[in-house]
Structure 1
Amino acid sequence: MSPTRRTTRRSLARRRLPSLAGVAVLVASASACSSEAADQWSRLAQPEPQTRQGNLMLDLWLGSWVAAFATFVVVFGLIVWSVLFHRRRKNSDQQLPPQVRYNLPIEMLYTLVPLVMVAVFFYFTARDETEIIKVSGTAPVKVKVEGYQWSWRFTTEAQGKTATVAGVPVDLSKQSTTNPQGPQLVLPVGTKVEFALESPDVIHSFWVPAFLFKQDVIPGVHNKFELDTLDKTGVFFGRCAELCGVDHSKMLFSVKLVPQAEFDQYMTTQSAAGGAQ
């Protein structure tokens, strides 16, 4: 092979290398996105739960969809069966198919089956709802959540120390997935946390999608709930889920789940600074 031909092939290889690298990055990104999309589909578009109660809610959600799909298959299958096998035949003098009025077994069947289905749904919903809204009063971390027009104030108490974080309506132009705006509530992982909700003005709603739970913040009503955080650190977005006024969309906040040691250091620093941020 001549030196000129070798040089030409090396030049082509160098020019193709960035393209091949780009294709490799694209394939890797597509695989990651595909894996993430598949994981989200397995939860039927729900976020990954960050609390024990969130897992209960997700199980109830998935179970409801399975039951609904099974009901759809049975009902639709019966409709198709009726259409195919009980349609009017050609060259037939029969005006109507055989009627089933006053057929006691069939009437009992389509009366009892829906009652059983509703009873099963009610049982699992009541069971999980009771567990989700249960407040034991023994949580080592307590958070007072105050929703006001149009931001939040979080007062955290743990180990005899207090930290308060208050916010103002956020600038939506600066909001991003990597730069959450608004006050940030810091909580430890693997810990039970009690929330007490209050509002001095109108109805708000405390919602963190990653918790798969929200509760209204109502003037004059002291709602409470508990969450058991999982051993997963990260920053998760929160917002008001109740239309509360002109700047409702600016009532954003975030929850940061950190290791216990980091949370202890945070509480010590905030307490020494007077409990305010």
Structure 2
Amino acid sequence: MVARSSEVRQSAVRHSASPGVGGRRRRGAGRLAGLGLGGAALLVLLTGCDVGKTFGGFGWPQGGITPESHRMYDLWIASCIAALAVGVFVWGLIFWCVVRYRKRGNDLPVQTRYNMPMEFLYTIAPILIVSVLFYYTAVVQTDVTKTTKNPDVTVEVVAFKWNWQFNYRDGQGKDANTVASVLGTSEVIPILVLPTGRSVRFEETSKDVVHSFWVPEMLFKRDVMPGNIRNVFEVSSLDAEGAYVGRCAELCGSYHAFMNFELRVVSPQQYDQFLAAKRDGKSTQEALTAIGEDPYASTTKPFNTRRDTANFNPDDVAAGAGS
């Protein structure tokens, strides 16, 4: 009887001790998960507004020169931070569950099926997250695509295979008059001169196929459609003077890759002088020289058309002799 009672007491001691050990382990796992989440949140808070610069913009180009480009960049960075926060939280829950509910015997852990508060949480939380992202996306998109009745500068962008023409207009729409024009050729890259601190309206049309007007530093591009379609967009201002390469971003034929132009951003005074020189009949190069700017594009160069040699029908080869 004594031996039997001592065995019972030892068994009771073992059973009573095991919950305490498990509780300490659970508390330790909870503390680790909490530290992990807290560290991730602290990292985001410490980086603050420099988080985009710290991580290279999360794949989004930096250095925008318009307020619209900054708004799109800020939306992208905020979306990435939100996605990382959700990801860190989910990863934390996964690792916590792996540690907390690892197998300790043959008994199943407590099941959470038909737990209405939890099911309500993981149904509503994603809807709230998507709704917030959708709201801010709609706000930024509306702001970026809005147009005004009286922009400071109106430019008609005319695309054709494989070059550009920029017409400075005295109003909006097809009925406005062109007061000055810049036409690109195979030998000279067209230069679009625009001022800082003024709103600019772009009215785009194509002479043949679909092209795309794109200046990477504007972080924005618009298709240039043929026919009666005029694709219109505006930028509220250009913030930095300089020369910026422009490209066609829509595959439009053999020389698509060489269909470039240059955006030259100058001061408002220089822009007015440039436009006055163009109105007086000066060429684009002469007008640029008059305001102290490089007369030719510095960010890109014309493509080689190979028109300076008789490469398709050499003069020194007899007809029918081949090459």
The TM-score, its normalising length taken from structure 2, stands at 0.65
Alignment partner, residue 76 of structure 1: 91
| Residue-by-residue CA offset, 1:11-55 (whole Å, 9 max, x unaligned) | xxxxxxxxxxxxxxxxxxxxxxxxxxx958564452311111111
- 1:40-189 matched pairs, under 5 angstroms: 41=55, 43-44=57-58, 45-89=60-104, 92-94=105-107, 96-157=108-169, 162-168=179-185, 182-189=189-196
Structure 1: distance between partners of 2:199 and 2:68: 11
| Residue-by-residue CA offset, 1:227-260 (whole Å, 9 max, x unaligned) | 0224421111111111122211111111111011
Structure 2: distance between partners of 1:215 and 1:40: 30
- The answer for unaligned runs of 5 or more in structure 1 is 1-37, 171-180
Q: Determine what percentage of the aligned residue pairs are the same residue.
A: 41
User: Partner letter of residue 244 of structure 2?
Assistant: F
Q: Is the 8 A contact 2:196 2:239 kept in 1?
A: yes
Structure 1: distance between partners of 2:225 and 2:241: 30
- The answer for unaligned runs of 5 or more in structure 2 is 1-51, 172-176, 286-323
Structure 1: distance between partners of 2:239 and 2:65: 8
Q: Is the 8 A contact 2:66 2:236 kept in 1?
A: yes
1:210 to 207, 212, 217: 217
Q: 1:125 to 1:244 in 2, by over 3 A?
A: same
| Residue-by-residue CA offset, 1:107-129 (whole Å, 9 max, x unaligned) | 11111111001101110010011
Point out the structure with max Rg over C-alpha. Answer: 2
Structure 2: distance between partners of 1:186 and 1:165: 9
Cα distance, 1:169 vs structure 2: 5.3
Q: Is the 8 A contact 1:144 1:156 kept in 2?
A: yes
Q: Is the 8 A contact 1:150 1:248 kept in 2?
A: yes
Structure 2: distance between partners of 1:40 and 1:275: 45
Q: 1:64 to 1:169 in 2, by over 3 A?
A: farther
Structure 2: distance between partners of 1:266 and 1:40: 40
* Corresponding residue pairs, total: 227
The TM-score, its normalising length taken from structure 1, stands at 0.75
Q: Is the 8 A contact 2:238 2:265 kept in 1?
A: no
Alignment partner, residue 278 of structure 2: 270
Of 151-160 and 96-105, the range deviating more from structure 2: 151-160
SS state at 1:143 partner: strand
Q: Is the 8 A contact 2:167 2:178 kept in 1?
A: no
Structure 2: distance between partners of 1:235 and 1:206: 16
SS state at 2:273 partner: helix
C-alpha RMSD of matched pairs (Å): 2.3
- Asked if 1:254 corresponds to 2:233, the answer is no
Cα distance, 1:209 vs structure 2: 1.1
Cα distance, 1:132 vs structure 2: 0.5
User: Partner letter of residue 49 of structure 1?
Assistant: G
| Residue-by-residue CA offset, 1:199-243 (whole Å, 9 max, x unaligned) | 122111111111111111122321111102244211111111111
Q: Is the 8 A contact 1:161 1:271 kept in 2?
A: no
SS state at 1:239 partner: strand
Alignment partner, residue 6 of structure 1: none
User: Partner letter of residue 127 of structure 1?
Assistant: V
User: Partner letter of residue 99 of structure 1?
Assistant: Q
Structure 1: distance between partners of 2:186 and 2:78: 38
Q: 1:169 to 1:109 in 2, by over 3 A?
A: farther
Structure 2: distance between partners of 1:169 and 1:275: 16
